[in-house]
């Protein structure tokens, strides 16, 4: 078990909280080169380099000259990456508008726009969804106008594409559950609500309405957490949404959805992490905060997975294998370990994962079809 109060974890969290909530450090900080490198490695694993760079600069942390230059370079690089994604997002929105295509953009830049400094959030790709009516038209328009093709079989949820060196994920399924019951509940929730717009760097971008946005962002985080792991960037996204949508979220509906999907216990732990680890104000919580011994133990269980695996579990295991089947076997073993740990927080979904999802993917692997595995 990792001691969250030890260096560099304690300093990393203090700097992150400072940047998330725009509060000053309550002490003067000086880091030597070895300490800086430890902090840098941790921030990198958690996809938080831009946030930590901003915090170090804003709080006037004393660093070596070499490390100051590195921090300034990081800050510039993350900002440049965000600007590139924003430009691509503008092009995507224009392409859809010009061709009368309805789409919904999720996560990424649509949440980043709510951060204190949107250019400091480490960007990823552009995730967007088209329903069955708009999907064929979207594929055709992208091929005709951008010269990119969706040839080949997509994963269970999306096509992986690239335009102007920016990774794109065109979703035909926004959220995939192993449980058929949960899938139907989610589909009913998702397809019964309209999109709203969020202003991203001068462009109105269609995204999920607030209550569903929080639900989806949490579900995406938690699915990755009990599959292979997830970093603190995803937790920060949920915290920022809760703060942004404070007094707008329909709490009664949100908690009803969580109970229906059987993820209420998992959300309670994530919410505890947002408050105790990330320092989110308790006024933004959506359900009563439990701080008893059992809840703290659950929080530590979640956080051990976060610290071990880093962003999307990339650092928790070797991802380089000669054969994809080897990767499948190793990750399946890791998933089964996590399923055992997380079963009590979402039994329906994990039970379905064990008895349906894994056997289905194993059959695909045997047939040599490893797309999306």
pLDDT digits (tens, 9 = 90+) for 260-284: 999 999 999 999 999 999 999 999 9
What confidence tier does 174 reach under pLDDT thresholds 50, 70, 90? very high
User: For 2-6, 125-129, 231-235, 270-274, which range has the lowest pLDDT when averaged over its residues?
Assistant: 2-6
What confidence tier does 302 reach under pLDDT thresholds 50, 70, 90? very high
What confidence tier does 328 reach under pLDDT thresholds 50, 70, 90? low
pLDDT of residue 317: 47
Choose among 80, 2, 105: nearest CA to 46: 2
Q: Is the pLDDT assigned to residue 133 strictly greater than 70?
A: yes
Name the 3-class secondary structure at 304: helix
Counting residues of the chain whose pLDDT is more than 90, the rounded percentage is 79
Q: What is the pTM of this model?
A: 0.91
Cis peptide leading into 124, omega within 30 of 0? no
Residue predicted with more confidence, 45 or 370: 45
* Residue whose structure tokens are 């959030």: 121
d(CA 337, CA 228): 10
Q: Is the pLDDT assigned to residue 1 strictly greater than 60?
A: no
Choose among 187, 334, 350, 193: nearest CA to 263: 350
Q: Is the pLDDT assigned to residue 78 strictly greater than 60?
A: yes
pLDDT of residue 316: 46
Choose among 57, 5, 60: nearest CA to 27: 60
What confidence tier does 228 reach under pLDDT thresholds 50, 70, 90? confident
Q: Contact, 233 vs 12, CB < 8 A?
A: no
Q: How many helices (H) and strands (E) does the chain have?
A: 15, 6
What confidence tier does 173 reach under pLDDT thresholds 50, 70, 90? very high
Q: Contact, 107 vs 237, CB < 8 A?
A: yes
Residue predicted with more confidence, 89 or 315: 89
Residue predicted with more confidence, 33 or 310: 33
């Amino acid at each position: 078990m990792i001691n969250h109060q030890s260096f560099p974890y304690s300093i990393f969290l203090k700097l992150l909280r400072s940047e998330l909530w725009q509060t000053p450090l309550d002490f003067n900080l000086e880091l030597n080169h070895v300490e800086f490198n430890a902090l840098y490695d941790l921030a990198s694993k958690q996809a938080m380099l831009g946030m930590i760079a901003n915090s170090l600069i804003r709080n006037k942390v004393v660093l070596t000259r070499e490390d100051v230059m590195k921090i300034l370079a990081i800050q510039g690089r993350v900002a440049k990456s965000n600007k590139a994604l924003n430009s691509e997002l503008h092009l995507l929105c224009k392409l859809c508008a010009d061709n009368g295509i309805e789409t919904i953009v999720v996560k990424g830049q649509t949440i980043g726009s709510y951060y204190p400094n949107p250019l400091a959030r480490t960007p990823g790709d552009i995730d967007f969804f088209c329903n069955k009516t708009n999907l064929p038209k979207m594929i055709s328009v992208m091929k005709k106008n951008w010269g990119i093709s969706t040839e080949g079989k997509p994963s269970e949820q999306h096509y992986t594409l690239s335009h102007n060196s920016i990774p794109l994920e065109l979703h035909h399924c926004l959220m995939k559950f192993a449980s058929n019951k949960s899938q139907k509940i989610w589909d009913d929730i998702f397809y019964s609500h309209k999109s709203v717009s969020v202003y991203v760097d001068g462009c109105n971008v269609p995204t999920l309405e607030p209550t569903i946005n929080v639900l989806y962002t949490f579900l995406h985080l938690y699915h990755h957490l009990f599959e292979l792991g997830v970093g603190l960037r995803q937790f920060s996204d949920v915290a920022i949404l809760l703060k942004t949508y404070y007094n707008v979220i329909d709490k009664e509906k949100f908690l009803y959805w969580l109970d229906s999907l059987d993820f209420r216990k998992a959300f309670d732990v994530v919410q505890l992490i947002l408050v105790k680890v990330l320092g989110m104000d308790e006024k933004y919580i959506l359900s009563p905060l439990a701080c008893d011994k059992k809840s703290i133990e659950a929080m530590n269980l979640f956080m051990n997975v976060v610290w071990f695996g880093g962003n999307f579990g990339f650092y928790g295991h070797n991802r380089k294998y000669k054969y994809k089947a080897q990767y499948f076997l190793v990750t399946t073993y890791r998933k089964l370990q996590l399923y055992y740990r997380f079963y009590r927080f979402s039994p329906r979904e994990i039970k379905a994962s064990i008895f349906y999802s894994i056997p289905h993917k194993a059959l695909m692997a045997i047939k040599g079809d490893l797309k999306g595995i």
